[in-house]
Structure 1
Amino acid sequence: CYKVSWNFDMVLVSQNRDSVMIEDGKRVAVPAGQQHDNPFIHEIEVAGLGKLEAFPNGDALHYVEMLDAAKGLRRSGRYTLRWPGWSAFWAPLKELGFLSEDKVPGTGNSPREFLGRLLGPQLQYGPGEKDLCVMRNVFSGLEDGRAKT
């Protein structure tokens, strides 16, 4: 079962976040509605874990500018890693409106708020269970005229 060690509502909010990447030196905007579409998803292999699904989640250009790394940059992205199948699960829920912020008439809550309140408590870790965080930063370019990663 999928578990969360943080605020599950923020997991839901992040499923509706526009993203910005750089591909082939050009800015690519990924609207939240397309974040889980196949052209933007790739898998990475993590030793000891196996394959993880990576999908765009946030503004990579923010970090490019913060690090003053834009000159000559060909590719940059900010991705969230999840077990394979994450995007296939969330894409139809998003399309059906389950992540909408619009209040459902007569309830006072949005579908996203409902999901957060329903699932959040059920997905918390129990005693003795542990969380895992994987972060991968890959930089490649030229150093002293030679390719380096």
Structure 2
Amino acid sequence: MSQSWYVIRTKPLSEHIAQANLSSQGFECFFPQFYDRRKKRVRPLFTCYLFVKFDYWNDFRAVSYTRSVANIVRFRDMPASIDEKLIEELRRRTDKETSLIITFKKGEAVSIVDGPFAGHEAVFHEDTKDLERVVIFLTICERLVQTVIARSDLDKS
């Protein structure tokens, strides 16, 4: 079957969650972002929207009922498909560092690569509401301690 890129509307502030859930199902996702110099943080290029490549007729239900997906954008009764060339151009124009957000699963082993705990191993627990920080469990002095650190300080083990 033929796969195309479609526009997906997410629930508010849930782009990362929708992207992680769709990616874990095997769908190719693209969530364009940019670095906002004024606010000094990474922001979505299109708030509440991301692009997903899938076969509409076979994967409609799987995509539509994914956690944090509001709906598949349509014009009249047809889904809004996007040309592959436009996706490639968006990818080319967005900063590669900002478009690649690493997602983690609850209970996954992670490595802390920056900050005061750099070099330590931890266990991912959950994302915070702002999605720029995460909750992890870290062993300190033979005790398991819950702490919040920047997502950018983590990498997969």
Q: Same fold (TM over 0.5)?
A: no
Q: Give 1 or 2: higher helix fraction.
A: 1
Give the TM-score taking structure 1 as reference length. Answer: 0.30
